[in-house]
């Protein structure tokens, strides 16, 4: 072994030690080793390109899911510096092998990685079976490569080898997530596209090119949104009846940049999305709070000025005023902090003050000059307040009338135990499957609620229609926590009667549709259920294999079948389950109900949000319908374990 080689080995060992914590506890760095964490690898790499864009240098980002399962992110920025770093190796090596160093050399004020797990490219490197880099800079193409975080290219006098000359500049990273780390290494195109589209809205001068070369659904999309968040709001409302223009304003306070766009539509719910440093905050936070507080205050004082509220009248509440509002609030914060169940709730008090101040100034500026718009908004608020008062009555009736009528309506087969942390409720599609499930269940801890056919699409219905729907009423009653529109309010999670709410639907198009509708319902009216991880999807098996000699075996997906075929010598018969209704009670218990043997997929807030139709637009127009998303997830959930 040459002396040089020896040095190389030493530095490899150092690198290994440096990145080892990441491989030992990946969840600490990327949140999870499931789908979310997997997709996060792409975002983590891409954030560097977005930073380069924000620095004023990169106009295009290319994200490609390659046929071999790897991912490529390329940009036309200046290229990662490859010169000698003070540590004696190429600067690029430092970026990819040092924890927390990130890719940022010029300390850009706004690190786009949003604070969630913004630890950068070295983490991705550590969790990739390989990561291959090409940097185009100063006329040369430099090349580097790592395997599980360890460099495999020998440096020449501390510098990277080059592979020819070019006039272009930019960075190209190709990497493959390590199957030793991740439950599944198949990226989720729907979620990635949604994120890319979001990024395009938030960076109006950026163009993002997406390509899925994996098949069977090859796809190409270009995301460029020159109208920024105004376009975002406009597109969110594309299929709705607008009753105002899109109102846009921006400003700065306390070193925080604030940008808002909103528009009212003739609908019964609000949809406010919060972003901090280009990252979506699923649980909202201080920017949203600041906006809401000031908006309510200003609109109430307008209502009094205009005589819509008399002296003796109570103020409109915030939800009245925002009824029908679709909005995006995007801030840039130099030091964001996050809290909440999923660490996606912006916690900085100064964000509330800054957004509040800018909102107060700017909406007065706007509505003073647009009286007709103001009138439309206030009329909407007035209507909402009236409906709210009616609803309050309806709700008392609903709750008092139905409180003890679970079994009298013949649907819910409740469990015996009142120990809520052990109880489960299965929402089962179809009466026949519901019947089998009632027989098969563990009566002590498992409740069964059969629902018939399609449930109401809550996105298309007014709140009183939603509440009038029999299936939904039964669910609200059964769960025991009430419901709310938006965050919190009348919903009380401490009253939840079950630890797990399990959606049990067939693995076909109709089943996926029902699951989508249920997720949308929970997302809209009981989001806490999802935040706190109470919602699951049951994963029944797809096949039963019965060998001529030996034990039968349930196979939960096609990969399991393939494996079975490989490992199983001799004849076996294969039964394909088409639906839950085909299983008898015993089979249903063995495969889908029994906590020791069944498979469940826990629903994340992102799943629910993707299922909800307000984000339909984020999926692009000419792509397969949303149900594919559930399929895609469901299939992989079955592959987990
Ligand atoms: C840093 O300051 C000097 C000029 O280049 C700046 C830089 O780092 N630019 C840059 C990094 N552009 N793109 C990247 C990048 C792109 C990807 C896909 C991945 C990573 C880790 C960095």
| Dist CA 75 CA 208 (whole Å) | 9
User: Could you tell me the end-to-end alpha-carbon distance of the chain, in angstroms, rounded to an integer?
Assistant: 43
| Dist CA 189 CA 72 (whole Å) | 13
| pLDDT for res 609 | 78
| Dist CA 228 CA 202 (whole Å) | 6
| pLDDT for res 112 | 41
| pLDDT for res 189 | 94
Which candidate, 632, 241, 618, 306, places its Cα nearest to that of 460?
A: 241
Domains of the chain: 20-223 (3.30.565.10), 229-395 (3.30.230.10), 402-540+581-640 (3.40.50.670), 543-576 (no CATH)
| pLDDT for res 627 | 41
The closest residue, in CA terms, to atom 7 on ligand 1 is 80
Percent of the chain with pLDDT over 70: 85
Phi/psi at 366 (5° precision)? -70, -50
Residue 205 pLDDT greater than 90, yes or no: yes
Which candidate, 223, 201, 214, 278, places its Cα nearest to that of 64?
A: 214
| Dist CA 100 CA 115 (whole Å) | 12
Residue 513 pLDDT greater than 60, yes or no: yes
The reply to whether 607 belongs to the active site is: no
| pLDDT for res 4 | 41
- Span from the CA of 42 to the centroid of ligand 1 (angstroms): 15
- Residues having CB closer than 6 A to ligand 1 are 45, 48-49, 52, 73, 75, 77-78, 80-81, 95, 103, 105-106, 121, 171, 173
| pLDDT for res 420 | 92
- Span from the CA of 335 to the centroid of ligand 1 (angstroms): 21
- Span from the CA of 83 to the centroid of ligand 1 (angstroms): 13
Residue 9 pLDDT greater than 90, yes or no: no
* Closest atom of ligand 1 to CA, residue 96: 21
Q: Which residue has the tokens 């914060």?
A: 333
Averaged confidence pLDDT in the chain: 84
Least-confidence region, from 112-121, 347-356, 385-394, 452-461: 112-121
Residue 459 pLDDT greater than 80, yes or no: no
The string of DSSP codes covering 415-447 is -S---GGG-EEEEEESHHHHHHHHHHS-TTTEE
* Closest atom of ligand 1 to CA, residue 58: 12
523-535: average pLDDT = 89
The closest residue, in CA terms, to atom 3 on ligand 1 is 81
Phi/psi at 280 (5° precision)? -70, 135
* Reported confidence tier of residue 617, pLDDT bands at 50, 70, 90: very low
Tell me how many helices (H) and strands (E) the chain has: 20, 24
Residues constituting the chain: 641
Under 8 Å between Cβ of 448 and 470: no
- Span from the CA of 76 to the centroid of ligand 1 (angstroms): 9
138-154: average pLDDT = 96
Catalytic residue among 147, 350, 510, 594: 510
The reply to whether 271 belongs to the active site is: no
- Span from the CA of 169 to the centroid of ligand 1 (angstroms): 10
Range from 84-88, 128-132, 321-325, 527-531 that averages highest in pLDDT: 128-132
| pLDDT for res 199 | 96
Q: Which residue has the tokens 């190429």?
A: 90
Residue 568 zone, left/alpha/beta (φ > 0; ψ -120 to 50; rest)? beta
Q: How many CB atoms sit inside 10 A of residue 298's CB?
A: 19
The closest residue, in CA terms, to atom 4 on ligand 1 is 78
Distance set, CA 591 to CA 184, 491, 543, 600 (Å): 22, 33, 11, 11
Q: Which residue has the tokens 């080898």?
A: 161
From 103, 112, 120, 133, mutation site for ligand 1 pocket: most ligand atoms within 8 A of C-beta: 103
| pLDDT for res 11 | 56
Least-confidence region, from 229-243, 252-266, 318-332, 626-640: 626-640
From 58, 60, 73, 80, mutation site for ligand 1 pocket: most ligand atoms within 8 A of C-beta: 80
* Closest atom of ligand 1 to CA, residue 80: 8
The closest residue, in CA terms, to atom 13 on ligand 1 is 49
The reply to whether 154 belongs to the active site is: no
Residue 298 zone, left/alpha/beta (φ > 0; ψ -120 to 50; rest)? alpha
Residue 634 pLDDT greater than 50, yes or no: no
The closest residue, in CA terms, to atom 8 on ligand 1 is 80
- Could you report the per-residue pLDDT of 194-203, keeping only the tens digit for each? 999 999 999 9
The closest residue, in CA terms, to atom 11 on ligand 1 is 80
| pLDDT for res 483 | 77
The reply to whether 429 belongs to the active site is: yes
Contact residues for 360 (Cβ-Cβ < 8 A; gap 6+): 294, 297, 298
Residue 175 pLDDT greater than 60, yes or no: yes
| pLDDT for res 439 | 87
Percent of the chain with pLDDT over 90: 52
- Could you report the per-residue pLDDT of 531-561, keeping only the tens digit for each? 899 999 999 898 889 888 888 889 988 888 8
Catalytic residue among 92, 271, 429, 459: 429
* Reported confidence tier of residue 118, pLDDT bands at 50, 70, 90: very low
| Dist CA 606 CA 7 (whole Å) | 46
- Span from the CA of 49 to the centroid of ligand 1 (angstroms): 6
The alpha carbons of the chain give a radius of gyration, in whole angstroms, of 27
Catalytic residue among 74, 459, 506, 636: 506
552 vs 78, higher pLDDT: 78
Q: Which helix (H) or strand (E) holds 60?
A: strand 60-65
- Span from the CA of 230 to the centroid of ligand 1 (angstroms): 29
Residue 211 pLDDT greater than 90, yes or no: yes
Least-confidence region, from 15-19, 154-158, 401-405, 522-526: 401-405
List own/partner pairs for 18-22 with CB under 8 A and 24 or more apart: 18/97, 18/98, 18/99, 18/122, 19/97, 19/99, 19/122, 19/123, 19/125, 19/126, 19/149, 20/126, 21/99, 22/99, 22/122, 22/123, 22/126, 22/127, 22/149
pTM of this prediction?
0.71
- Span from the CA of 342 to the centroid of ligand 1 (angstroms): 29
169 vs 113, higher pLDDT: 169
157-181: average pLDDT = 95
107-135: average pLDDT = 70
263 vs 550, higher pLDDT: 263
186 vs 485, higher pLDDT: 186
- Which residues does residue 427 pair with via DSSP β-bridges, in sequence order? 449, 503
Catalytic residue among 508, 552, 558, 584: 508
């Amino acid at each position: 072994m040459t002396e040089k080689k020896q040095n190389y080995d030493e530095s490899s060992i150092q690198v290994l030690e440096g990145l080892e914590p990441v491989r030992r506890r990946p969840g600490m760095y990327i949140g999870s080793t499931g789908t979310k964490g997997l997709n996060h690898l792409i975002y983590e790499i891409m954030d560097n390109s977005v930073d380069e864009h924000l620095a004023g240098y990169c106009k295009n980002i290319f994200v490609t899911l390659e046929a071999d399962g790897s991912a490529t992110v390329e940009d036309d920025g200046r290229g990662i510096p490859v010169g000698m770093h003070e540590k004696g190796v190429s600067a690029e090596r430092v970026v990819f092998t040092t924890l927390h160093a990130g890719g940022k050399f010029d300390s850009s004020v706004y690190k786009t990685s949003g604070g969630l797990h913004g630890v950068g490219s070295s983490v991705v490197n550590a969790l990739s079976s390989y990561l291959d880099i090409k940097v185009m800079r100063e006329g040369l193409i430099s090349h580097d490569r790592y395997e599980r975080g360890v460099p495999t290219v020998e440096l020449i006098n501390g510098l990277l080898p080059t592979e020819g000359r070019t006039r272009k500049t930019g960075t190209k990273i190709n990497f493959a997530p390590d199957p030793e780390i991740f439950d599944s290494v198949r990226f989720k195109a729907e979620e990635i596209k949604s994120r890319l589209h979001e990024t395009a809205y938030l960076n109006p001068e950026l163009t993002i090119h997406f390509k899925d070369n994996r098949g069977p659904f090859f796809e190409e999309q270009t995301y460029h949104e020159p109208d920024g968040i105004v376009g975002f709001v406009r597109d969110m409302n594309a299929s709705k009846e607008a009753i105002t223009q899109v109102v846009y304003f921006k400003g700065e306070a306390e070193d925080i940049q604030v940008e808002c766009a909103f528009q009212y539509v003739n609908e019964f719910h609000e949809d406010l999305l919060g972003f901090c440093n280009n990252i979506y905050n699923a649980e909202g936070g201080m920017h949203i709070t600041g906006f809401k507080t000031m908006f309510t205050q200003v609109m109430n004082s307008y209502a009094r000025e205009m005589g819509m509220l008399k002296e003796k009248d109570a103020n409109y509440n915030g939800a009245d005023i925002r009824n029908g509002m679709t909005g995006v609030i995007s801030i840039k914060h130099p030091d964001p902090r996050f809290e909440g169940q999923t660490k996606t709730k912006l916690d900085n008090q100064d964000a509330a003050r800054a957004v509040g101040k800018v909102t107060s100034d700017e909406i007065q500026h706007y509505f003073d000059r647009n009286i007709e718009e103001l009138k439309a908004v206030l009329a909407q608020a007035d209507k909402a307040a009236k409906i709210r008062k009616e609803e309050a009555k309806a709700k008392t009736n609903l709750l008092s009338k139905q409180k003890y009528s679970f079994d009298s309506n013949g649907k819910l087969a409740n469990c015996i135990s009142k120990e809520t942390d052990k109880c489960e409720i299965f929402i089962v599609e179809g009466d026949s499957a519901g019947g089998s499930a009632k027989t098969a269940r563990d009566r002590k801890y498992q409740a069964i609620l059969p629902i018939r056919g399609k449930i109401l699409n809550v996105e298309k219905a007014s709140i009183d229609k939603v509440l009038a729907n029999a299936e939904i009423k039964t669910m609200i009653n059964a769960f025991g926590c009430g419901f709310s529109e938006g965050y919190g309010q009348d919903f009380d999670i401490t009253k939840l009667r079950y630890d797990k709410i399990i959606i049990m639907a067939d693995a076909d198009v109709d089943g996926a549709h029902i699951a989508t509708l249920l997720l949308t319902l929970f997302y809209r009216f009981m989001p806490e259920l999802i935040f706190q991880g109470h919602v699951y999807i049951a994963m029944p098996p797809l096949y039963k294999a019965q060998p001529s000699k030996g034990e039968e075996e349930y196979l939960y997906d096609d990969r399991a079948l393939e494996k079975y075929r490989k490992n199983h010598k001799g004849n076996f018969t294969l039964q394909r389950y088409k639906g839950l209704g085909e299983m008898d009670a015993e089979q249903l218990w063995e495969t889908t109900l029994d906590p020791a043997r069944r498979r469940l997929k826990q629903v994340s807030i992102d799943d629910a949000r993707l299922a909800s139709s307000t984000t339909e637009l984020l999926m692009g127009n000419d792509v397969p319908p949303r149900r594919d998303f559930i399929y895609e997830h469901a299939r992989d959930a079955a592959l987990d374990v």
